[in-house]
Amino acid sequence: MTIQIASVPNGTVTSAKGFSAGAVFAGIKTPGADKRDIGLLVSEQLCTVAGTFTQNSIISPSASLTRDRIGINKKVKAIVANSGCANCAVGAQGLVDAKETTDIAASHLSTTSEETLVASTGVIGVELPMALIREYIPKINVTENGGSEFAKAILTTDKRSKEIAVSFDADGIIHTVGGVSKGSGMIHPNMATMLAFTTTDANVDPVFLQETLSNAVKLSFNQIDVDGDQSTNDTVILMANGAANGALLKGDNDASDAFAAAVLKVCKHLAIEIARDGEGATKLIEVTVEGAYSNDDALKASRACAASLLVKTAVYGRDPNWGRIFMAVGKSGIKLDESLINCYVNDIQIVADGKGISYNVQSVVSALGDDEVRLRVNLNVGSGSGQAWGCDLTEEYVVFNSAYTT
């Protein structure tokens, strides 16, 4: 039996039972209306925890410390996150500061440093301003309604917060999964500058928890692209505190399937919102590849297309240059037969059997002007399918990133 997943109105990372959050503006970021730059997320009880992290060879000590503190046999209770400073490429001081930050947060939240995770995002090559962190973390008030405050605290160049919560009923018990993310630039999939924190009040076996998160990341955060650059700080965390008092989910029943579907829905929503909010972007690009030899081939090809700078600029300029879609799919390295490929823009077919066909050019140009542009490629060689998401590349992105620190 398939269990339905429902959206939680105004859902946040604290929608799941037993989670609280709060934030403060300490001055790590430049001042602005309603800004926050340090946030705390805490569970009333210890959580099993799963995570995925950047695969960049240069990694922030904040991310590496958190990576070391999660695992099958480990429990955590809290996360402290800052924006405005990545705490990366600062030598040995980075790890010292990351540890002290968790010490301060743990003391404020009455837990231990080992049960506290840390995440940072912002400018690389700048040390954490520890004087501000020491002063302002103790001023943070955490509440059950503080999820949106926490969401503000992790934003950098984002234009808006990214939050969601969903729920499902298993054996008469409502289970909730909530999430929050940030990301707008330096975004290219391979989780393993993005952060995502997800929470649940479900009681979940730690092995199944990690499997669930890893699969969800593969189909969501690993399938987005803004600018082809992979951050040094990418972190996705899933905390499960069991506060719903449901049965243990181990991956062997309908409730486990519902939980996995809920986590995927949360991660996919957050990932798409990151792509939509790309620096300088004016539209979301969704790429669907179907008829591939395998799902993995379809994921690889759709990601190559979403990440192509030439596809991005064509969409921005409303140029129906389908040759760029062909190029991107071909460079992905998957097996295909060029003579079988069909292509569509917002369901308008522009290629059949590997060749351009007659179509209403103005209709396609108009479709490329929509806020959401859907590119669909049918390879017609198998049953594999996959999706990826990106955004257009504009002059604003170039101007913004040409003077990021000045």
**Where do the domains of the chain lie, and which CATH numbers do they carry?**
6-276 (3.60.70.12), 284-401 (3.10.20.340)
- Over 80: is that where the pLDDT of 89 sits? yes
Q: How many residues does the chain have?
A: 406
Return the axis-axis angle of helices 206-219 and 254-276, rounded to nearest 10°: 40
Instruction: Give me the active site residues, please.
Output: 193
Cα 9 to its chain centre, rounded Å, is: 20
> How far from 312 is each of 21, 329, 375, 395, CA to CA, in Å?
37, 14, 11, 12
Per residue in 24-56, pLDDT tens?
999 999 898 899 999 999 999 999 999 999 888
Using a 10 angstrom Cβ sphere, with 0-12 exposed, 13-18 middle and 19 or more buried, the burial of residue 329 is: buried
Per residue in 131-188, pLDDT tens?
999 999 999 999 999 999 999 999 987 888 999 999 999 999 999 999 999 876 555 5
**CB count in 10 Å sphere of residue 363:** 13
Per residue in 210-245, pLDDT tens?
999 999 999 999 999 875 656 667 889 999 999 999
Classify 94 in phi/psi space as left (phi over 0), alpha (psi -120 to 50) or beta: alpha
What is the phi/psi pair of residue 168, to 5°? -150, 155
Q: How far apart are CA 170 and CA 308, in angstroms?
A: 42
Mean pLDDT of 390-398: 90
